[in-house]
Amino acid sequence: MKIFLLLLLSFAGVTALGQSSVVPLTYSRILQIDSATKTGLYDKALIWCSKAFNDSKSAINVREKESGIIAGKALLSSYYKIPKKKDSALSWVYSNYLFDWLIEAKDGKLRFSVKNISLHEDSGDYPVFEIDKAPIKIAFTSEERIRTEWECSKAGLLNNIDKLVTELYTDLLKNDSW
């Protein structure tokens, strides 16, 4: 009985240790624009949101001009390549991701961050973590292939978010005086 309890406690400890190392995937980038005011950055970011999101009214949940915060929820169709061999691609595919996003503006800088990322499938939404393990299984597909495609999908997502933020940065730098 003592051995059984010891094994049970050891297994519970290992399981808890394994679970604590599962970290949700997030994204954050700070954009430095030294000469910009908080209000100017906020206004330009709000205009960018209206262009970046198909339905900006439903994508934006929070607008607090005084604190410089814009926040919301978005659905992004993230395109990426599936590798065939070392130097070629099998095809372009996409995955849909839901996430919460936040823009925080201060004098001279702006932070864009993403959290609560989930893979959006017909069968449901699956939280995305930093680990290599895919949240879903694909019938008749090897574990290695699933892991490779999952890593490509996550890398594609982060790359596509980074492209969005680069577009935001470009819009923030524009001088709109006519």
pLDDT at residue number 178:
59
Whether 124 is in a domain gets the answer yes
Whether 1 is in a domain gets the answer no
The CATH number of residue 42's host domain is 3.30.530.80
Domain that residue 109 falls in? 22-173
User: One digit per residue, pLDDT tens: the chain, 178 residues?
Assistant: 444 333 333 333 434 444 446 899 999 999 999 999 999 999 999 999 999 988 888 899 999 999 999 999 999 998 887 776 666 556 778 899 999 999 999 999 999 999 999 999 988 999 999 987 888 887 888 888 888 888 888 999 999 999 999 999 999 998 876 5
Over the chain, what HEC string results? Answer: CHHHHHHHHHHHHHHHHHHHCCCECCEEEEEECCCCCHHHHHHHHHHHHHHHCCCHHHHEEEEECCCCEEEEEEEEEEEEEEEEECCEEEEEEEEEEEEEEEEEEECCEEEEEEEEEEEEECCEEEECECCCCCCCCCCCCCHHHHHHHHHHHHHHHHHHHHHHHHHHHHHHHCCCCC
Whether 164 is in a domain gets the answer yes
Total domains, the chain: 1
Whether 8 is in a domain gets the answer no
Whether 13 is in a domain gets the answer no
